[in-house]
Amino acid sequence: IEVLLKLCNLDSRNARSIDDTQRSREALKCLSNCALLKDATRLWIVKHGGVPASYRLLASPVASGEAQFLVCRVLLFLTVDAPDVVEELVSLGIGPTIAKVLDENVTKFVSNDSQSGPNQISPKLVISEALKLLFNLILVETRRKEGKEEEIGAYFSGCLAPIYTIVFDIPISKPMPLSPPTNYAVQALMQFPFSAIYNSWSNYVHRRQNQIPSEALHNICANRMCDILEGTLNYLIPDGNPDNHASTSSEQNVDATIAPLVLVMRKVMAEDPGFRESFMSRLLPSERYTYEPLRQQAVELDKKKEHLRILSSQYFSFLYSLAIGKHQ
Protein backbone atom coordinates (compact mmCIF):
# COMPACT_ATOMS: atom_id res chain seq x y z
CA ILE A 1 0.00 0.00 0.00
CA GLU A 2 2.88 2.34 0.79
CA VAL A 3 4.30 1.76 -2.69
CA LEU A 4 0.92 2.44 -4.29
CA LEU A 5 0.59 5.69 -2.33
CA LYS A 6 3.99 6.78 -3.59
CA LEU A 7 3.16 5.90 -7.18
CA CYS A 8 -0.06 7.90 -6.90
CA ASN A 9 1.76 10.78 -5.16
CA LEU A 10 -0.81 10.49 -2.37
CA ASP A 11 1.57 9.93 0.53
CA SER A 12 2.46 12.68 3.00
CA ARG A 13 5.99 13.04 1.65
CA ASN A 14 4.60 14.27 -1.67
CA ALA A 15 2.17 16.66 -0.03
CA ARG A 16 2.39 19.36 -2.70
CA SER A 17 2.92 17.21 -5.78
CA ILE A 18 0.16 16.64 -8.34
CA ASP A 19 0.71 13.63 -10.56
CA ASP A 20 -1.76 12.51 -13.22
CA THR A 21 0.01 10.05 -15.48
CA GLN A 22 -0.79 6.61 -16.79
CA ARG A 23 1.39 5.14 -14.05
CA SER A 24 -0.32 7.10 -11.28
CA ARG A 25 -3.78 6.21 -12.59
CA GLU A 26 -2.94 2.50 -12.70
CA ALA A 27 -1.73 2.78 -9.11
CA LEU A 28 -4.99 4.54 -8.20
CA LYS A 29 -6.95 1.63 -9.68
CA CYS A 30 -5.05 -0.81 -7.49
CA LEU A 31 -5.44 1.42 -4.45
CA SER A 32 -9.20 1.74 -4.90
CA ASN A 33 -9.54 -2.03 -5.23
CA CYS A 34 -7.54 -2.53 -2.05
CA ALA A 35 -9.68 0.02 -0.21
CA LEU A 36 -12.80 -1.80 -1.36
CA LEU A 37 -11.59 -5.24 -0.32
CA LYS A 38 -9.86 -4.51 3.01
CA ASP A 39 -10.84 -1.98 5.66
CA ALA A 40 -7.27 -1.75 6.98
CA THR A 41 -6.22 -0.21 3.67
CA ARG A 42 -8.52 2.75 4.29
CA LEU A 43 -6.99 3.39 7.69
CA TRP A 44 -3.50 3.24 6.19
CA ILE A 45 -4.40 5.75 3.47
CA VAL A 46 -5.88 8.16 6.00
CA LYS A 47 -2.92 7.79 8.40
CA HIS A 48 -0.38 8.56 5.68
CA GLY A 49 -1.98 11.76 4.40
CA GLY A 50 -4.01 10.25 1.60
CA VAL A 51 -7.12 12.37 2.27
CA PRO A 52 -5.67 15.87 1.62
CA ALA A 53 -3.53 14.50 -1.22
CA SER A 54 -6.58 12.94 -2.87
CA TYR A 55 -8.47 16.19 -2.47
CA ARG A 56 -5.69 18.19 -4.13
CA LEU A 57 -5.69 15.86 -7.11
CA LEU A 58 -9.48 16.07 -7.45
CA ALA A 59 -9.36 19.86 -7.22
CA SER A 60 -6.50 20.19 -9.69
CA PRO A 61 -7.45 21.82 -13.02
CA VAL A 62 -5.17 19.34 -14.81
CA ALA A 63 -6.84 16.20 -13.40
CA SER A 64 -8.11 13.94 -16.17
CA GLY A 65 -11.56 12.37 -16.18
CA GLU A 66 -10.08 9.03 -15.25
CA ALA A 67 -8.20 10.55 -12.30
CA GLN A 68 -11.39 12.29 -11.14
CA PHE A 69 -13.29 9.02 -11.34
CA LEU A 70 -10.66 7.08 -9.40
CA VAL A 71 -10.18 9.72 -6.70
CA CYS A 72 -13.96 9.96 -6.17
CA ARG A 73 -14.04 6.19 -5.78
CA VAL A 74 -11.16 6.17 -3.28
CA LEU A 75 -12.74 9.00 -1.27
CA LEU A 76 -16.09 7.21 -1.31
CA PHE A 77 -14.51 4.21 0.39
CA LEU A 78 -12.60 6.42 2.85
CA THR A 79 -15.73 8.33 3.93
CA VAL A 80 -18.00 5.37 4.70
CA ASP A 81 -18.91 5.72 8.39
CA ALA A 82 -15.90 8.02 8.81
CA PRO A 83 -17.05 11.42 10.14
CA ASP A 84 -13.48 12.53 10.84
CA VAL A 85 -12.55 12.03 7.19
CA VAL A 86 -15.66 13.89 6.04
CA GLU A 87 -14.91 16.74 8.44
CA GLU A 88 -11.41 17.03 7.01
CA LEU A 89 -12.70 17.05 3.44
CA VAL A 90 -15.27 19.73 4.25
CA SER A 91 -12.56 21.88 5.82
CA LEU A 92 -10.52 21.47 2.61
CA GLY A 93 -13.45 22.59 0.43
CA ILE A 94 -14.85 19.35 -0.97
CA GLY A 95 -18.30 20.87 -1.67
CA PRO A 96 -17.23 23.38 -4.34
CA THR A 97 -14.75 20.86 -5.71
CA ILE A 98 -17.42 18.21 -6.35
CA ALA A 99 -19.61 20.93 -7.87
CA LYS A 100 -16.74 21.76 -10.26
CA VAL A 101 -16.26 18.11 -11.20
CA LEU A 102 -20.00 17.70 -11.82
CA ASP A 103 -20.31 20.92 -13.83
CA GLU A 104 -17.36 20.02 -16.03
CA ASN A 105 -18.48 16.49 -16.76
CA VAL A 106 -22.20 17.24 -17.12
CA THR A 107 -21.28 19.85 -19.73
CA LYS A 108 -19.26 17.24 -21.61
CA PHE A 109 -22.02 14.66 -21.23
CA VAL A 110 -24.72 17.00 -22.53
CA SER A 111 -22.61 18.11 -25.50
CA ASN A 112 -21.35 14.56 -26.20
CA ASP A 113 -17.84 16.00 -25.95
CA SER A 114 -16.41 13.02 -24.12
CA GLN A 115 -13.06 12.88 -25.94
CA SER A 116 -12.69 9.33 -24.65
CA GLY A 117 -11.79 6.17 -26.45
CA PRO A 118 -13.34 2.74 -25.92
CA ASN A 119 -11.06 1.98 -22.96
CA GLN A 120 -11.25 5.40 -21.31
CA ILE A 121 -13.48 6.68 -18.55
CA SER A 122 -16.48 8.60 -19.90
CA PRO A 123 -18.00 11.74 -18.31
CA LYS A 124 -21.07 9.65 -17.46
CA LEU A 125 -18.97 7.39 -15.23
CA VAL A 126 -17.24 10.36 -13.58
CA ILE A 127 -20.64 11.95 -12.87
CA SER A 128 -21.99 8.75 -11.34
CA GLU A 129 -18.97 8.30 -9.07
CA ALA A 130 -18.99 11.95 -7.98
CA LEU A 131 -22.71 11.73 -7.15
CA LYS A 132 -22.17 8.60 -5.06
CA LEU A 133 -19.44 10.43 -3.15
CA LEU A 134 -21.72 13.46 -2.70
CA PHE A 135 -24.52 11.25 -1.36
CA ASN A 136 -22.20 9.73 1.23
CA LEU A 137 -20.64 13.06 2.25
CA ILE A 138 -24.02 14.63 2.99
CA LEU A 139 -25.24 11.49 4.76
CA VAL A 140 -22.23 11.28 7.08
CA GLU A 141 -22.04 15.05 7.63
CA THR A 142 -25.74 15.19 8.56
CA ARG A 143 -25.21 12.47 11.14
CA ARG A 144 -22.11 14.24 12.45
CA LYS A 145 -23.84 17.60 12.78
CA GLU A 146 -27.38 16.81 13.87
CA GLY A 147 -29.78 19.72 13.49
CA LYS A 148 -27.54 21.45 10.95
CA GLU A 149 -29.25 20.15 7.81
CA GLU A 150 -29.88 23.65 6.43
CA GLU A 151 -26.23 24.62 6.85
CA ILE A 152 -25.02 21.39 5.23
CA GLY A 153 -27.46 21.77 2.35
CA ALA A 154 -26.27 25.32 1.73
CA TYR A 155 -22.64 24.20 1.73
CA PHE A 156 -23.23 21.56 -0.95
CA SER A 157 -25.86 23.58 -2.87
CA GLY A 158 -23.43 24.30 -5.70
CA CYS A 159 -23.89 20.66 -6.74
CA LEU A 160 -27.62 21.11 -7.34
CA ALA A 161 -27.45 22.90 -10.71
CA PRO A 162 -25.69 19.98 -12.48
CA ILE A 163 -28.05 17.58 -10.67
CA TYR A 164 -31.02 19.48 -12.08
CA THR A 165 -29.50 19.36 -15.54
CA ILE A 166 -29.30 15.57 -15.27
CA VAL A 167 -32.83 15.11 -13.92
CA PHE A 168 -34.74 17.77 -15.82
CA ASP A 169 -32.84 18.72 -18.99
CA ILE A 170 -31.25 15.55 -20.32
CA PRO A 171 -33.76 13.43 -22.29
CA ILE A 172 -35.27 10.65 -20.19
CA SER A 173 -33.40 7.38 -20.69
CA LYS A 174 -35.24 4.63 -22.50
CA PRO A 175 -36.39 2.04 -21.65
CA MET A 176 -35.32 2.57 -18.00
CA PRO A 177 -35.51 6.23 -16.84
CA LEU A 178 -33.79 5.63 -13.48
CA SER A 179 -30.50 4.47 -14.94
CA PRO A 180 -27.09 6.11 -14.37
CA PRO A 181 -26.51 8.95 -13.91
CA THR A 182 -30.16 9.90 -13.28
CA ASN A 183 -30.64 7.42 -10.44
CA TYR A 184 -27.53 8.70 -8.65
CA ALA A 185 -28.66 12.31 -9.17
CA VAL A 186 -32.03 11.54 -7.55
CA GLN A 187 -30.33 9.73 -4.66
CA ALA A 188 -28.09 12.75 -4.03
CA LEU A 189 -31.06 15.12 -4.31
CA MET A 190 -32.84 13.07 -1.65
CA GLN A 191 -30.16 14.09 0.89
CA PHE A 192 -30.74 17.83 0.53
CA PRO A 193 -33.17 19.80 2.73
CA PHE A 194 -36.12 21.42 1.00
CA SER A 195 -34.75 24.96 1.44
CA ALA A 196 -31.66 24.15 -0.63
CA ILE A 197 -33.72 22.25 -3.21
CA TYR A 198 -36.23 25.06 -3.70
CA ASN A 199 -33.80 27.99 -3.76
CA SER A 200 -31.50 26.30 -6.24
CA TRP A 201 -34.44 25.04 -8.33
CA SER A 202 -35.95 28.52 -8.59
CA ASN A 203 -32.61 30.04 -9.61
CA TYR A 204 -31.93 27.21 -12.05
CA VAL A 205 -35.24 27.58 -13.88
CA HIS A 206 -35.16 31.37 -13.95
CA ARG A 207 -31.70 31.33 -15.54
CA ARG A 208 -33.25 29.41 -18.42
CA GLN A 209 -36.67 31.05 -18.61
CA ASN A 210 -37.04 34.69 -17.59
CA GLN A 211 -40.15 35.87 -15.71
CA ILE A 212 -41.54 32.38 -15.33
CA PRO A 213 -44.56 32.24 -12.97
CA SER A 214 -44.23 30.30 -9.72
CA GLU A 215 -46.84 27.73 -10.76
CA ALA A 216 -44.71 26.86 -13.78
CA LEU A 217 -41.81 26.09 -11.44
CA HIS A 218 -44.02 23.57 -9.69
CA ASN A 219 -45.46 22.05 -12.86
CA ILE A 220 -42.06 21.54 -14.52
CA CYS A 221 -40.84 19.64 -11.47
CA ALA A 222 -44.02 17.58 -10.99
CA ASN A 223 -44.41 16.60 -14.64
CA ARG A 224 -40.82 15.51 -15.05
CA MET A 225 -40.71 13.48 -11.83
CA CYS A 226 -44.02 11.79 -12.63
CA ASP A 227 -42.78 11.01 -16.15
CA ILE A 228 -39.68 9.37 -14.66
CA LEU A 229 -41.76 7.46 -12.11
CA GLU A 230 -44.25 6.24 -14.70
CA GLY A 231 -41.55 5.19 -17.15
CA THR A 232 -39.64 3.34 -14.45
CA LEU A 233 -42.70 1.43 -13.27
CA ASN A 234 -43.63 0.57 -16.85
CA TYR A 235 -40.12 -0.86 -17.27
CA LEU A 236 -40.07 -2.77 -13.98
CA ILE A 237 -43.65 -4.04 -14.30
CA PRO A 238 -44.32 -4.06 -18.05
CA ASP A 239 -47.75 -5.70 -17.86
CA GLY A 240 -48.95 -3.23 -15.24
CA ASN A 241 -50.02 -5.98 -12.90
CA PRO A 242 -48.06 -6.10 -9.64
CA ASP A 243 -49.68 -9.41 -8.72
CA ASN A 244 -47.70 -11.08 -11.49
CA HIS A 245 -44.49 -9.80 -9.92
CA ALA A 246 -45.22 -10.65 -6.32
CA SER A 247 -41.97 -12.43 -5.49
CA THR A 248 -39.95 -10.93 -2.67
CA SER A 249 -37.00 -10.19 -4.94
CA SER A 250 -39.20 -8.35 -7.46
CA GLU A 251 -40.88 -6.28 -4.76
CA GLN A 252 -37.53 -5.33 -3.27
CA ASN A 253 -36.19 -4.37 -6.68
CA VAL A 254 -39.13 -2.06 -7.40
CA ASP A 255 -39.06 -0.49 -3.94
CA ALA A 256 -35.31 0.00 -3.90
CA THR A 257 -35.36 1.58 -7.36
CA ILE A 258 -38.21 4.05 -6.90
CA ALA A 259 -37.79 4.85 -3.19
CA PRO A 260 -35.38 7.82 -3.62
CA LEU A 261 -37.60 9.44 -6.27
CA VAL A 262 -40.75 8.92 -4.21
CA LEU A 263 -39.09 10.38 -1.13
CA VAL A 264 -37.97 13.47 -3.06
CA MET A 265 -41.53 13.90 -4.33
CA ARG A 266 -42.85 13.52 -0.80
CA LYS A 267 -40.39 16.10 0.54
CA VAL A 268 -41.33 18.85 -1.89
CA MET A 269 -45.06 18.13 -1.54
CA ALA A 270 -44.86 18.26 2.25
CA GLU A 271 -43.11 21.62 2.26
CA ASP A 272 -44.85 23.58 -0.51
CA PRO A 273 -48.59 23.67 -1.36
CA GLY A 274 -47.75 24.68 -4.93
CA PHE A 275 -45.79 21.50 -5.48
CA ARG A 276 -48.57 19.50 -3.84
CA GLU A 277 -51.15 20.96 -6.24
CA SER A 278 -49.00 20.20 -9.26
CA PHE A 279 -48.36 16.61 -8.19
CA MET A 280 -52.03 16.19 -7.30
CA SER A 281 -53.02 16.98 -10.88
CA ARG A 282 -50.78 14.15 -12.09
CA LEU A 283 -51.29 11.58 -9.35
CA LEU A 284 -54.98 11.81 -8.48
CA PRO A 285 -58.23 11.63 -10.47
CA SER A 286 -59.73 15.04 -11.26
CA GLU A 287 -62.98 16.34 -9.74
CA ARG A 288 -64.93 15.57 -12.90
CA TYR A 289 -64.88 11.90 -11.93
CA THR A 290 -67.50 12.72 -9.32
CA TYR A 291 -70.14 13.52 -11.95
CA GLU A 292 -69.13 12.01 -15.31
CA PRO A 293 -70.43 8.57 -16.31
CA LEU A 294 -67.99 5.84 -15.45
CA ARG A 295 -67.69 4.64 -19.03
CA GLN A 296 -66.30 8.07 -20.03
CA GLN A 297 -63.83 8.05 -17.18
CA ALA A 298 -62.49 4.53 -17.48
CA VAL A 299 -59.61 4.98 -19.91
CA GLU A 300 -58.06 8.07 -18.34
CA LEU A 301 -58.71 6.93 -14.78
CA ASP A 302 -57.08 3.56 -15.35
CA LYS A 303 -54.07 5.21 -16.92
CA LYS A 304 -53.68 7.62 -14.01
CA LYS A 305 -54.06 4.88 -11.43
CA GLU A 306 -51.73 2.46 -13.19
CA HIS A 307 -48.44 3.68 -11.82
CA LEU A 308 -49.82 4.50 -8.37
CA ARG A 309 -51.48 1.20 -7.62
CA ILE A 310 -48.28 -0.77 -8.05
CA LEU A 311 -46.34 1.22 -5.49
CA SER A 312 -45.86 -0.44 -2.13
CA SER A 313 -48.48 0.63 0.38
CA GLN A 314 -45.89 2.60 2.38
CA TYR A 315 -44.85 4.86 -0.49
CA PHE A 316 -48.39 5.21 -1.82
CA SER A 317 -49.66 6.36 1.57
CA PHE A 318 -46.96 9.06 1.66
CA LEU A 319 -47.90 10.43 -1.75
CA TYR A 320 -51.65 10.07 -1.40
CA SER A 321 -51.91 11.73 2.00
CA LEU A 322 -49.76 14.63 0.88
CA ALA A 323 -51.49 15.07 -2.45
CA ILE A 324 -54.90 15.45 -0.77
CA GLY A 325 -53.47 17.78 1.87
CA LYS A 326 -53.55 15.48 4.89
CA HIS A 327 -49.88 15.70 5.74
CA GLN A 328 -48.81 16.42 9.30
Q: Give the predicted TM-score (pTM) of the model.
A: 0.85
- pLDDT tens-digit series, residues 277-316: 888 888 776 555 555 554 454 545 455 554 455 454 445 5
Residue range 9-60, pLDDT digits in tens: 776 555 556 778 888 899 899 999 999 998 888 998 998 889 999 999 999 9
Spell out the SS3 assignment of the chain.
CHHHHHHHCCCHHHCCCCCCCHHHHHHHHHHHHHHHHCHHHHHHHHHCCHHHHHHHHHHCCCCCHHHHHHHHHHHHHHHCCCHHHHHHHHHHCHHHHHHHHHHHHHHHHHHCCCCCCCCCCCHHHHHHHHHHHHHHHHHHHHHHCCCCHHHHHHHCHHHHHHHHHHHHHCCCCCCCCCCCCHHHHHHHHHCCCHHHHHHHHHHHHHHHCCCCCHHHHHHHHHHHHHHHHHHHHHHHCCCCCHHHHCCHHHHHHHHHHHHHHHHHHHHHHHHCHHHHHHHHHHHCCCHHHHCCCHHHHHHHHHHHHHHHHCCCHHHHHHHHHHHCCCCC
